[in-house]
Amino acid sequence: MDEQGKHEEALGYYTKAMVIKEKEYGRESVEVATTFYNMGAVYTRQDEYDKAIDTYNRVLVIYEEKIYPLWEEQFGPDHWKTARTHMGIALVLPP
């Protein structure tokens, strides 16, 4: 949907997914962070850079501070998903 330029519709679906994921996994879960990351990408495509940065920063809080035994993986400041999120922020910073 987002790839077709239907940004608002895509954000609506991500929001619905977020509600379900928060109930199922908790507000600070990897699943929620992934949805936030995707929403940040949509905001970037809409040139809504402040919203994108805010959203990516929410992702960083989850990735940098949490350990998820469910995934048998420790996230943190050196995890590849944390690096990817920093790159997302770098793309939307003003010159």
User: Can you give the pTM of this predicted structure?
Assistant: 0.75
Residue that the structure tokens 């048998």 belong to: 72
Tell me the pLDDT tens digit for each residue of 20-46. Answer: 999 998 888 888 999 999 999 999 999
pLDDT for residue 39: 95
d(CA 66, CA 86): 17
**What is the average pLDDT score of the chain?**
83
Higher pLDDT pick, 3 / 15: 15
| Both structure tokens of 10 | 């895509």
Question: Which among 10, 35, 7 has a CA at the least distance from the CA of 21?
Answer: 35
pLDDT value for 63: 81
Stronger pLDDT, 36 or 73, i.e. the higher one:
36
